[in-house]
Amino acid sequence: MLKDSLGFVVVIGLHALFSPASDAQALPEKNVQAYTCDDCSFSEAKNLVKAHSYPLLRCVAKDNSEIISIDNQACYSTPRYAAVLNEASGRLWGFQLSHSHQGMFPPVMQLQVVAYDHPQTVDAMIRNGVEYSNRLAARADSIANNLSTTFDTSQAFYDWLGDQAQGATKITAANTASANDFSCANGSSQYQAVKAATSGEFESRLQMQVNEQYANFDGTPGDFFDEVEFTGIGLGLQKLGFNVSLSWDNKQIQKNVAFNFPLPDGLAAEGNNQPSKVIFTLTPKGSHIEISLNHSLTYIGGQSWSVLTNPAKSTVELSPCVKVALTEAFGSPQTTPAGSVSGGGYKPLPTTGGGIGGGTPIGGGWDYQLCDAHFYDRNGNPLITIKVRC
C-alpha cells in the first residue's frame, strides 16, 4: 500500500529544500530524492518515483534566437536519482530517471526509469532519516496526548493556568435580559475558549509544558549526519558530500493538542450552544517544538475559528462573553447594527432551574437587537467579526 504526500510521511526531495554543495551540483547522483511506502512492490515503487521525481525539462531555441516554438526547440533534462524504502520489509529500491532523445522536443523525449544501486552512504542516510522522523512523530504524538485536556468545570480551566477566575468580568443585566449580572470568567465556556485561543498567558503555559516534555528527547540525528537542517517542510540531510532532503506530511509529523470545553455556555443563544474546542498544532523543529493555533479545527460554540476570522463569511450570534474575551485580547471593537431577533433568548445556566444567573429566560415573542462587533489589529486589519446582543 502506497501513501504519498496525502498519506504517510515521506517525500525525500532535494532541490526545492536546500542548496546542495557544489560537488553535488556537478554530480546529480549525489542528490537523491526518496520516498517510503508501508508495504509496496517494486512496480508500485517505480510508479511512485515516476509520479514525483520527473526530471525537469529545459528548452532553448535551436537557432539561438529568442523565440522558442514547437519546430524550433531543443530540450534537455538532467537525470534524477530516487529511492523508495519499504518500511514493512526494509527493502530499499534505487532508481535513475532520465529522458531519451536529448536535444529533441518534449513529445519525442521518453521518460526512462531504471534500477540504480545507491552507495551505502545514501542507503544509510535514508534509513536513519526515516527512523528519526518516526521517532520524532511518536514523541510529538505522546506530548499531544499527554497535554490534551477537557475542562469539566470553570475552575478546572483556571487551575490549569495556575490562576484564579477573574470574578470582576461581568455582563450586566441590561445586556443579558436577565435579572442578575453574569460573570463571564466563571460561567461562560465560550469566554474561556476564546481566552485559550487568544491569551498569551495560555499559549505560554502550553509552550512551557511542551518544552518540558520534549527536553529529554534523545532522537537527534546529529551524530550520524554532517548537517541536519529543518527546512520548514522537512529535513535537509548531508553526509560525505551526499544530499538528501526529507519532507514530512503535515498530518503525520505535526500533532494536535485538544482543549475541550464541554459545558453549555450560560449566555449562548438558543440553537448555538454547542461545546467549544481549541486546538493547538505541534510542529517539531529539532531543538524545540513550535505551537500554533489551528484555525480550522478550533470551534467556539460550534463555529469554526477559520470562519469567524474570514471577513467574507457571514457572522453568527455568539455569547456576549465572547465579545468580552475578544475585547480583552484586541481592544474595543467597532459595532454596527445587524437587525433584530424574535424569541429564542438564552439558555439557562446548567445546574440552575431558571435563566441566566438564576432568573427567568427570555424567549417567546420578545425581540432584541443584534450588532456586529468588528475587531482589528494594530494596523487596522480585520481580525474577527461576531454577532452579539447590542
Render pLDDT for 132-170 as a digit per residue (tens, 0 to 9).
888 888 999 999 999 999 999 988 999 998 865 454 455
The reported pLDDT for the residue numbered 390 is 78
The C-alpha cell of 252 is what?
503525520
H-run or E-run covering 256: strand 255-261
Angle of the 120-147 helix axis to the 200-214 helix axis, nearest 10: 130
Q: What would the pLDDT profile of 57-84 be if each residue is shown by its tens digit?
A: 888 888 777 777 777 788 898 999 999 9
The reported pLDDT for the residue numbered 177 is 42
Helix (H, G, I), strand (E, B) or coil at 162: coil
What average pLDDT does the segment 234-251 reach? 77
Distance separating alpha carbons of residues 108 and 101, to the nearest angstrom: 7
The radius of gyration computed from the CA coordinates of the chain, to the nearest angstrom, equals: 28
Backbone φ and ψ of 350, nearest 5°: -65, 150
The reported pLDDT for the residue numbered 60 is 85
Mean pLDDT of the chain: 80
* pLDDT at 103 exceeding the cut of 50: yes
Closest to 12 in 3D by CA, of 128, 112, 99: 128
* pLDDT at 2 exceeding the cut of 70: no
Q: Which carries the bigger pLDDT value, residue 142 or residue 272?
A: 142
Q: What would the pLDDT profile of 185-217 be if each residue is shown by its tens digit?
A: 888 899 999 999 999 999 999 999 999 999 888
Report the percentage of the chain scoring pLDDT > 70: 77
Ranges of H-type helices in the chain: 22-26, 42-52, 120-147, 154-161, 184-187, 189-198, 200-214, 250-253, 305-308, 320-330
* pLDDT at 224 exceeding the cut of 90: no
Q: Which carries the bigger pLDDT value, residue 229 or residue 65?
A: 229
* pLDDT at 367 exceeding the cut of 80: no
* pLDDT at 354 exceeding the cut of 70: no
* pLDDT at 46 exceeding the cut of 90: yes
Closest to 202 in 3D by CA, of 151, 274, 137: 151
Strand 10-12 relative to strand 57-60: parallel, antiparallel, unpaired? unpaired
**Per-residue pLDDT band at 270 (split at 50, 70, 90):** low
Angle of the 189-198 helix axis to the 154-161 helix axis, nearest 10: 20
Distance separating alpha carbons of residues 224 and 237, to the nearest angstrom: 10
What average pLDDT does the segment 270-291 reach? 86
Query: Cα 221 to the chain's mean position, in Å?
Result: 24
The reported pLDDT for the residue numbered 125 is 92
The reported pLDDT for the residue numbered 202 is 95
DSSP secondary structure letter of residue 175: G
The reported pLDDT for the residue numbered 120 is 94
Q: Which carries the bigger pLDDT value, residue 346 or residue 305?
A: 305
* pLDDT at 218 exceeding the cut of 90: no
Q: Which carries the bigger pLDDT value, residue 174 or residue 338?
A: 338
Q: Which carries the bigger pLDDT value, residue 350 or residue 69?
A: 69
* pLDDT at 96 exceeding the cut of 80: yes
Report the percentage of the chain scoring pLDDT > 90: 39
* pLDDT at 107 exceeding the cut of 90: no
pTM for this entry: 0.77
Distance separating alpha carbons of residues 146 and 22, to the nearest angstrom: 45
Give me the torsion for CA of 100, 105, 111, 114, rounded to 10°: 20
Distance separating alpha carbons of residues 345 and 341, to the nearest angstrom: 9
Closest to 226 in 3D by CA, of 11, 24, 33, 85: 24
List, as own/partner pairs, every contact residues 106-109 make where C-beta atoms lie below 8 angstroms and the sequence separation is at least 24, other chains included.
106/57, 106/59, 106/75, 109/57, 109/75, 109/77
Angle of the 189-198 helix axis to the 320-330 helix axis, nearest 10: 20
The total of other beta-carbon atoms located within 10 Å of residue 61's CB is 13
**Per-residue pLDDT band at 366 (split at 50, 70, 90):** low
Q: Which carries the bigger pLDDT value, residue 58 or residue 366?
A: 58
**How far is the CA of 180 from the CAs of 75, 104, 157, 158, 356, in angstroms?**
79, 83, 24, 24, 7
The reported pLDDT for the residue numbered 90 is 95
Backbone φ and ψ of 216, nearest 5°: -95, 15
Residues with Cβ within 8 Å of 267's Cβ and at least 6 positions away in sequence, in order, are 171, 176, 182, 184, 187, 188, 190, 319, 320, 321, 346, 356
Report whether 67 contacts 117 (CB < 8 A). no
Distance separating alpha carbons of residues 196 and 104, to the nearest angstrom: 60
Backbone φ and ψ of 195, nearest 5°: -60, -40
**Per-residue pLDDT band at 267 (split at 50, 70, 90):** confident
H-run or E-run covering 279: strand 276-284
